């Protein structure tokens, strides 16, 4: 996935937006009200800025924001590998957080042209992408890869909740996990946004020079078109989601050579495409 590893320090100037703040609440239970402290999933507006130019604003869980920025940058194909990101600064601003990335001027020129095309187009209403052609970009075709055992998928599904610390405290966070073919959960990232969780994971993997082809992707969310696109671009051969895929997600996965699994539970799952990668 990456040709170089980002080894420059991340500069952070932050007062800090809490990841899991606590608040006194009133709860109705067993026929009466009680006052108690609840942990709540943090959320803040996060701006991604390239070479001083704002590109996008999203709502995120304020944790692992450098990895989120790297993953987002790679997923959007603004750079081709993590080594092209020459600096990251994270700073609190009045209403949220700015993540400021430095990229080569050639990449920035292409980004500015892309931004002009977005401003000049007619919106289709899909996450700021302004045409069907841009939304349904051509995906790479994944090469064949060795199969994994069905039992490995089931065991990982049972083990993942213990690794979801934010969701355990709040019940409001999605997770994206990279799992080795032998069933080891290598990395987990969480966020209130399912897309953000996956971008954080791919960012962390790029930084650690982990190859997606050596395992599979596990998502605690529904599997939409965008999730399949991000998985295929990153190079994951298998995507496992605990909820349902959409029809277009299945079509894109099939065309990209991606094994797509949905309705995944420890008790079983559905395989929608390229089932040769899963053995009994």
Contacts of 70 (CB under 8 A, 6+ apart): 6, 82, 85, 88, 202, 203, 204, 206, 207
**Choice among 44, 124, 127, 223 that is catalytic:** 124
User: Is 223 among the residues known to form the active site?
Assistant: no
**Long-range interactions of 127-136: CB distance < 8 A, separation 24+:** 127/226, 128/56, 135/225, 136/225, 136/248, 136/252
User: Using CA atoms, how far apart are residues 61 and 47, in angstroms rounded to an integer?
Assistant: 13
Buried-exposed string 157-172: b where 16+ CB fall within 10 A, e elsewhere: beebeeebebbebbeb
The two structure tokens encoding residue 128: 């700021």
Query: At residue 202, what are phi and psi to the nearest 5 degrees?
Result: -65, -30
Q: Which residues are catalytic?
A: 124
């Amino acid at each position: 996935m990456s040709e170089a590893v980002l080894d420059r320090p991340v500069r952070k100037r932050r007062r800090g937006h809490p990841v899991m703040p606590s608040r006194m609440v009133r709860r109705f239970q067993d026929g009466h009200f009680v006052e108690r402290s609840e942990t709540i999933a943090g959320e803040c507006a996060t701006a991604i800025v390239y070479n001083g130019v704002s590109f996008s604003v999203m709502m995120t869980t304020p944790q692992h924001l450098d990895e989120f920025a790297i993953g987002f940058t790679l997923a959007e194909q603004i750079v081709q590998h993590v080594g092209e990101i020459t600096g990251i600064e994270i700073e609190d601003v009045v209403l949220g957080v700015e993540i400021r990335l430095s990229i080569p001027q050639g990449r920035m020129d292409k980004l500015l042209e892309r931004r002009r095309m977005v401003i000049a187009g007619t919106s289709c209403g899909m996450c700021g992408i302004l045409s069907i052609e841009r939304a349904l970009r051509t995906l790479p075709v994944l090469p064949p890869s060795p199969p994994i055992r069905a039992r490995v998928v089931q065991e990982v599904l049972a083990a993942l909740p213990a690794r979801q610390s934010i969701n355990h405290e709040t019940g409001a966070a999605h997770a994206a996990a990279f799992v080795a073919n032998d069933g080891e959960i290598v990395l987990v990232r969480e966020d209130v946004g399912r897309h953000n969780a996956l971008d954080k994971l791919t960012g962390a993997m790029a930084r650690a020079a982990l190859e997606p082809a050596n395992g599979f992707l596990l998502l605690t969310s529904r599997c939409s078109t965008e999730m399949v696109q991000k998985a295929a671009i990153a190079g994951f051969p298998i995507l496992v989601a605990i909820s349902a895929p959409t029809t277009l997600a299945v079509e894109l996965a099939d065309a990209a050579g991606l094994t797509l699994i949905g309705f995944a539970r420890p008790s079983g799952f559905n395989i929608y495409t390229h089932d040769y990668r899963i053995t009994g």
